[in-house]
Structure 1
């Protein structure tokens, strides 16, 4: 019986480790992070940055929303529409020319084409579906902290319709 818990703990740790480098957030025009809609930003190479809208589409938006714990995206925004709705980013542009197939677990796992020169007038945005993921979508891992930190916290897994913590045994 102990071996089953050890294997489960190992699998959860591997899932959490693979989720940590692919930090994604949605940002409002005033710079605040919001839950289900906003300008898409990813944390890569030690810095937050936006996603260029070159080749941005529904599959890319669905991957971002699922990575954040939603069932998918109700819409995606690019160019001037996103600029007017969620405002421009101010940091670097970390990703562009994404070609997600839609089944990736992280936006960082999506293939990328050749990125052209991008400006913050071309930042990508999404509006995620209101409902959170269901049990059939498989486990999703997140870091939860009381101070709003995105790079540290308690490891939680979404399974069977609810969020739960991971036991530190072994």
Structure 2
């Protein structure tokens, strides 16, 4: 496979969030944070198809990167690709000379249940945690959520009120199919478009094997 200068990827196994790596001088190199600005971060998210930049910071990883890093890219912020930015000052440097870059773009998405393996189903999108409505949700979708969260392979669905009434209702009419491999492949209404009442139509899921919080102490003292 032939790689071109300025190609980017994010390590860490998450789409649209991770440690930044740039293909530079025939190798993948991480980036030093102190050489980066909002302009370069905006181009990177755009190049990845991940929307706009939410934040960039030092990497949470504590493992030392054994390869060389890169510094010196300079963008105006309007470019579609880092290869279109100036790399006249770009050069490989020792990674130990500074903190490495970690970025989160607006299309980064994550799911959680509010009480571990049970609770309100909430999704992180565009920098904000929001609700998922229960309309049209079925067992296939519920089971997908439990599997993705490593909370067993099955669960049960009920409807409840939002934990934060002002939180956006990000997803509605979410209905997974047997061939979907993760929740983001499942059909739904467009982001933010819903027919959901935050007082009683938010999805609540209890995964198989999850111990209800109100029964925890009861079991402890049996």
Task: Name the TM-score class by shorter chain.
Answer: 0.5 to 0.7
Aligned match of 1:93 = 169
1:102–1:38 Cα change, 3 Å: farther
Query: Which sections of structure 2, spanning at least 5 residues, go unmatched?
Result: 1-10, 18-107, 211-222
1 or 2 for the larger relative contact order (CA 8 Å, sep ≥6)?
Answer: 1
TM value normalised by structure 1: 0.54
Unmatched tracts of structure 1, length 5 or more: 1-12, 28-33, 132-170
Q: In structure 1, which of residues 128, 131, 140 is the aligned counterpart of residue 207 of structure 2?
A: 128
Matched, 1:46 2:127: yes
Moved over 4 A (4+): 113-116
Are residues 116 and 35 of structure 1, via their aligned partners in 2, closer, same or farther at CA, if it must alter by over 3 Å?
A: closer
Match of 1:117 among 163, 177, 195: 195
Q: Which has the larger radius of gyration?
A: 2
CA deviation map 1:47-85 (0-9, x unaligned): 10000111011111111111101232331112xxx33xx
Native 8 Å contact 2:148 2:182 kept in 1? yes
Q: 1:23 to 1:116 in 2, by over 3 A?
A: closer
Classify the secondary structure of the residue corresponding to 1:38: strand
| Pairwise CA RMSD | 2.7
Q: How many residues align?
A: 107
Deviation at 1:46, TM superposition (A): 1.0
Alignment of 1:130-169 (within 5 A): 130=209
Which piece of structure 1 moves more, 111-120 or 88-97? Answer: 111-120
